[in-house]
Amino acid sequence: MSITIKELTPGFVGEVSGIDITQPLTAAQAAELEAGMDRYAVLVYHDQRFTDDQQKAFSANFGPLENTSTGSVITPAGRRLDPLMADVSNLGVDHKPLARDDRRRLFNLGNQLWHSDSSYKAIPSKFSLLSGRVVVDAGGNTEFADMRAAYDTLDDKTKAEVEDLVCEHSLIHSRGSLGFTELSDEERQMFKPVWQRLVRTHPVSGRKSLYLSSHAGTIVGWPMPEARAFLRDLIEHAVQPRFTYSHKWRQHDLVMWDNRTTMHRVRRFDETQIRDMRRTTVAGDAVTVEQLAA
């Protein structure tokens, strides 16, 4: 059996077959998938019946995993999965859909905004791997935007303007933009803003991309309204249909994406239905820009 990658969206999304990723990989297989990620930015696999341990083991081929407990308002008692798994389902510990006004649900609605995972961490993530354990029939697609293509199609003047800009990212910004503003002092401390370059260069391909996210709330040194208007403008450019792919989930799909070069969002669905989605996140290895001293 050898790995095949079929191009779903030119240069952006590949569909992988010829491999069972629930089983340990050889070093050569892991290298082939990593090279696939460098060439595309999103890889789709079907029929991968993961347990949480198998998903963690597969993900660890690409680097150490992030502990996800600092990126949510889930308390230890309200946590359904272990801290190496981000729970992006709509479920509580009893495996039932959360109540409409449940704080965890309202916080997770932020995933409907275009974002890059963990851009609110000083060292942001490398890859995310999302497994569809129980999927919904209607709605609930995950959409991806190619931020390399978004960068490439800027005019030269805008490219020069964004080149050295630094943005402030925080969950306080993304959740605040939906009116989710009630945070404890502890949460505010945990969600303290970090700085990220607006233009990133991929370490392997050398391609530049726009590093945008709903978490970006301002541009360092700019008046906030001017920064937000500009960031909105850039996001509007980046998510044009010609730069995006919409993933319709089948049960047991795994989709992995490069957070350095993409944004994503989930679309609305009927939340009385169970949607059990579990994410592992591969940590990045460096800050994108020096941080403001604490």
Does residue 87 interact with Mn ion by CB under 5 A?
no
Does residue 258 interact with Mn ion by CB under 5 A?
no
Q: Supply the minimum distance, in Å, between the C-beta of residue 88 and ligand OGA.
A: 4
CB 241 within 8 A of CB 115: no
Does residue 117 interact with Mn ion by CB under 5 A?
yes
Does residue 130 interact with ligand OGA by CB under 6 A?
yes
Give me the torsion for CA of 55, 56, 62, 64, rounded to 10°: 170
When the beta carbons of 25 and 109 are compared against ligand OGA, the nearer one is 109
Q: Phi, psi at residue 95, to the nearest 5°? A: 65, 20
Report the C-alpha gap between 104 and 148 in whole angstroms.
Answer: 32
Q: Supply the minimum distance, in Å, between the C-beta of residue 149 and Mn ion.
A: 20
- Contact range with Mn ion by CB under 5 A, out of 11-19, 20-28, 117-125, 170-178: 117-125
Report the C-alpha gap between 252 and 132 in whole angstroms.
Answer: 5
CB 198 within 8 A of CB 167: yes
Which of ligand OGA, Mn ion, none does residue 277 bind to, with CB < 5 to 8 Å depending on kind?
Answer: ligand OGA
Q: Supply the minimum distance, in Å, between the C-beta of residue 27 and Mn ion.
A: 29
Which of ligand OGA, Mn ion, none does residue 130 bind to, with CB < 5 to 8 Å depending on kind?
Answer: ligand OGA
Residues that contact ligand OGA, how many (by CB under 6 A): 10
Q: E-assigned strands of 177-237?
A: 194-197, 199-201, 208-210, 216-219
Report the C-alpha gap between 229 and 93 in whole angstroms.
Answer: 40
The strand pairing partners of 237, in sequence order, are none
Rule CB under 6 A: choose which of 117, 146, 258, 276 binds ligand OGA.
117
Rule CB under 6 A: choose which of 142, 170, 214, 280 binds ligand OGA.
142
Integer Rg of the chain from CA: 18
Report the C-alpha gap between 259 and 115 in whole angstroms.
Answer: 9
Name the closest residue to Mn ion (Cβ): 117
Q: Supply the minimum distance, in Å, between the C-beta of residue 211 and Mn ion.
A: 15
CB 117 within 8 A of CB 212: no
Residue listed under structure tokens 């996800």: 68
Does residue 266 interact with ligand OGA by CB under 6 A?
yes
- Contact range with Mn ion by CB under 5 A, out of 65-73, 112-120, 140-148, 216-224: 112-120
When the beta carbons of 148 and 275 are compared against ligand OGA, the nearer one is 275
Q: Which helix (H) or strand (E) segment is 58 a member of?
A: helix 52-59
* Site residues (vs ligand OGA, CB under 6 A): 88, 111, 117, 128, 130, 142, 264, 266, 277, 279
* Site residues (vs Mn ion, CB under 5 A): 117
